[in-house]
Structure 1
């Protein structure tokens, strides 16, 4: 869950122009994953039992794919670059 929050904070910081040290392809992966999670169109509809499993799988894959970028963003936040939401 913490990684999910970091993904959101990273996108917000990028959108506000506070954090730009991320390759465009990694940003696309993150935004696409977040859009999938909030989209009402899912592989497994959320109202069905286990309906959030596909959302969790997507976020797990996104986090694994951009792990180094998340770590760099966390370091940036710890260094004083954090932006309040």
Structure 2
């Protein structure tokens, strides 16, 4: 893991804890991230973001809580990083800023992949029950 990625994990996970018990703050973050993703997300990052947004939204609403706190903190941290206009490489620098965000989203996705697999299975069962 690169030094930049370690810094991300430490800084954004600590910020993410502010969203654990504040449903309104969490919902506002999700809305802001979805708005930015509509304008900025590229390639397979779009699909990864959508899945992270879905699990975060279901977790915030209380529908899905079967995820370790460390994983949801990492997801929130990744979303915070994505939303932040000033991170390791500012989003105002064309392409490089987006690649930086994509790298972090990819890192989060890899770190919580087993939790995302369980979430997708849960989501499929929920869909079949409706």
| TM value normalised by structure 2 | 0.60
* Structural mapping, 1:1-85, within 5 Å: 1-49=46-94, 50-80=96-126
Runs of 4+ in 1 over 6 A off after TM superposition: none
Unaligned runs of 5+ in 1: none
Find the aligned partners of 2:71 and 2:98 in 1 and give their Cα distance.
23
Find the aligned partners of 1:68 and 1:3 in 2 and give their Cα distance.
14
Find the aligned partners of 1:2 and 1:53 in 2 and give their Cα distance.
15
Q: Which moved more, 1:38-47 or 1:5-14?
A: 38-47
Shift in Å at residue 31 of structure 1? 0.3
C-alpha RMSD of the superposition? 1.4
Shift in Å at residue 52 of structure 1? 0.9
CA contact 2:85–2:92 (8 Å) conserved in 1? no
| TM value normalised by structure 1 | 0.90
More contact order relative to length (CA 8 Å, sep ≥ 6): 1
Unaligned runs of 5+ in 2: 1-45
